[in-house]
Chain A
Amino acid sequence: QQQVKQSPQSLIVQKGGISIINCAYENTAFDYFPWYQQFPGKGPALLIAIRPDVSEKKEGRFTISFNKSAKQFSLHIMDSQPGDSATYFCAASYTGFQKLVFGTGTRLLVSP
């Protein structure tokens, strides 16, 4: 199964709050899990990525948590800001596959 399931579809968070977006996958061959941020009229931009040899990766306010046994990974945005309002996509791939399988996307709105 090459699907990646993403939730929620949309999310409203107050400024300063924590935004959490979840993804789940079936294919245990996946070994690369990036998150992309997309603003209207722009292409997706790589935000942060993780490989399954670690359970957590943090870059600034963005953290990926990875649960290999549950086949789930999530994006946490700490101290969410109005400038974080965008659509976020999780994705997955594996060495040799050379393609990205995308989740369905989460539209995040951070209210001032």
Chain B
Amino acid sequence: SAVISQKPSRDICQRGTSLTIQCQVDSQVTMMFWYRQQPGQSLTLIATANQGSEATYESGFVIDKFPISRPNLTFSTLTVSNMSPEDSSIYLCSVERQGKGYTFGSGTRLTVV
């Protein structure tokens, strides 16, 4: 399965600031997915990122709050903007490999204080 590297692995941020999370995949993929996992909860899809086009956001998530970049087929970033304590979560990057299912990175644990 694909190897996914996420940076940073964790961070503590002040409210009102922004954090950019990076996701690097070891091979080219068409789609990259960003998920949020709130403490003790399941995974919720934030958006799907295609290279060369705007990301597609799920209901309840907006581009102004979670801008995404996808400059090439192996890399994507998710920014959490104007953070509040409610944004404290684990943010996960995921890709699908044909015939091999969906693989997840180890996540970015964000705490907003």
Contact = CB atoms under 8 A, between A and B. Distances in A.
Interface of A: 32, 34, 36, 41-46, 49, 89, 98-100, 102-105
Interface string B33-55: 10000000111110010000000
Interface stretch (B66-74, B78-86, B98-106): B98-106
A98 B48 CA distance: 9
A43 B106 contact: yes
A99 B101 contact: no
B96 interface: yes
B17 interface: no
B31 A44 contact: no
Given A89-B43, A102-B42, A42 B106 contact: yes
Contact of B107 (A34, A43, A105): A43
A84 to B, nearest CB: 19
B18 to A, nearest CB: 23
> Which secondary structure characterizes the binding site on chain A?
loop
Given A43-B105, A43-B107, A105 B31 contact: no
8 contacts: A41-B106, A43-B4, A98-B48, A100-B45, A102-B42, A102-B44, A105-B41, A105-B42
A40 to B, nearest CB: 10
B42 A89 contact: yes
Contact of B104 (A44, A49, A98, A104): A44
Contacts of A42: 106-107
B33 A43 contact: no
A46 B101 contact: yes
Contacts of B31: 98
Contacts of A98: 31, 48, 96
A66 to B, nearest CB: 16
A89 B101 CA distance: 14
